[in-house]
Amino acid sequence: MLKQDVMQVSQDQPIYSEAPLQLLLFVDGRPKSRQQVQRIRAYLKELETGYSFELQIIDVGEQPYLAEHFKLVATPALVKIHPEPQQTIAGTNIIPELKTWWPRWQTAIDTFLKLQEDLREVEDETSQVILPKSTIHSVATSAELIQLADEIFRLKQEKEKLQEQLLFKDRVIAILAHDLRNPLTAAAIALETLQSNYNPDIGAFQRLKPGLALHLLKQARTQTRIIDRMIADLLQVGRGEDTELPIIPQKLQLGTLCLEVLEELSDRYIAKSQTIETDIPQDLPYVYVDPERIRQVLTNLLDNAIKYTPVGGIISVAGLHRTTQKVQFSIGDSGPGIPEENRDRIFENLFRLQRDQNTEGYGIGLCLCQRIIRVHYGQIWVDSSPLGGAWFHFTLPVYPS
């Protein structure tokens, strides 16, 4: 609320409803500011102008939108809002400035009063009521409009955030209804087959050769790990990009980890008759990373390579000791590739190429890969593969010797 302090130097009442001179004094809570405000108010009371004026004290802490309306950069500040033109005096020299401007303001008031007298004569002749414009009211209205505009902007941001959350929720529901069904079904079939062929009396499987039983156990384990990875990815991305990604780095042989992931995914690329070509140097140095996080990266990239490489296609895996501090790892496929204009956007959360709208996936895998690589102070990018598909590259720090 405005704190009003109406001061009239003259005892004569003005000939119209509003004081001819209207001033706003903006203050803050600083002790020095309060002392200066007291001096300004005392000086105003001493002025012998013969004119009435209205002074309103405004605390910028309570009315920040009024301060914004007048574009104030310092307080205390004295603003003349009537008669026009508007004028602002701010800083530590308000009283000296006021001494300079007060005679000029008197001249402006004389002009304004003469205009008002002329308007009143016109009113008497035409019998039409002419009401003076309320300057204080217009200032308050402008401040309210600024406040409403800020509130509308804030609500718009909240709306966009909620829409993103709703979109993510819809994607999650789609995953639960579709993407999780395949690994769940595969794991369930493997477990049911093992259970139906297990004889507790003899403690062994009937009608199942040991090799097949081990294959089914491996299948169940692989599919449950896929489910666990999908859920972990969803939960991690759902927390937002601003959330810190925790890692526990340690010494790791990246080539060995990659071969383990390939073994876990072997059923998939064997089913599509795909060829895996590896070029991982035996002397590739150890890296200093979080094993489970890098497993997520390798699984996501290899999973995509298998998915987009056609039947009978080739998937390439290569390692390179790029510098003394960095190891580069690359995974390529012979699929359709990534259009050049989309090679940066594919790492955005929930972004999917138009061709992939009806394909398995939910658009968060590459986003998560980028976050994992970056938290290891590495880089990840994509370019064209010599086989016509896509080459995904990422770098990781070498384990310090």
Give phi and psi for 2, each to the nearest 5: -75, 135
Q: Residue 51 has what pLDDT? A: 64
Mean pLDDT of 101-119: 81
Q: What is the pLDDT of residues 344-379, one digit of tens each?
A: 777 775 554 444 444 444 345 787 888 889 999 999
Q: CB within 8 A of 125, min separation 6: which ones?
A: none
Task: For domain 3-134, give the CATH number.
Answer: 3.40.30.10
**Is the per-residue pLDDT at 129 higher than 60?**
no
CA–CA gap between residue 92 and residue 117 (Å, rounded): 38
Run of H or E residues at 261: helix 254-264
Delimit the domains of the chain by residue range.
Answer: 3-134, 151-238, 250-397
Confirm or reject CATH 3.40.50.300 for domain 151-238, answering yes or no. Answer: no
CA nearest 329: which of 263, 377, 381?
381
In the CATH hierarchy, which fold is given to the domain comprising 250-397? Heat Shock Protein 90 (3.30.565)
Residue found by looking up tokens 């259009």 in the block: 339
Residue found by looking up tokens 């501090």 in the block: 325
**Is the per-residue pLDDT at 395 higher than 70?**
yes
Mark 65-97 as b/e (b = at least 16 C-beta within 10 Å).
bbbebbebeebbbbbbbbbeeeebbbeeebeee
**What does pLDDT average to over the chain?**
77
Poorest-pLDDT segment among 108-122, 317-331, 333-347, 353-367? 353-367
Output the CA torsion sign for 150, 237, 381, 289. Answer: positive
The CB-side HSE value for 400 (13 A sphere, CA atoms) comes to 1
Q: Are strands 314-320 and 275-279 parallel, antiparallel or unpaired?
A: parallel
Q: Are 376 and 292 in contact (CB under 8 A)?
A: no
Higher pLDDT, 19 or 183: 183
Mean pLDDT of 72-86: 83
Does this chain's domain 3-134 share its CATH topology with 151-238?
A: no
Q: What percent of the chain has pLDDT over 90?
A: 19
CA–CA gap between residue 118 and residue 113 (Å, rounded): 9
Two structure tokens written together for 237: 């991305």
Two structure tokens written together for 180: 């999780």
CA–CA gap between residue 387 and residue 332 (Å, rounded): 8
Reply yes or no: is the peptide bond before residue 386 cis, omega within 30 of 0.
no
Q: In angstroms, what CA-CA distances link 284 with 41, 117, 330, 398?
A: 79, 95, 13, 10
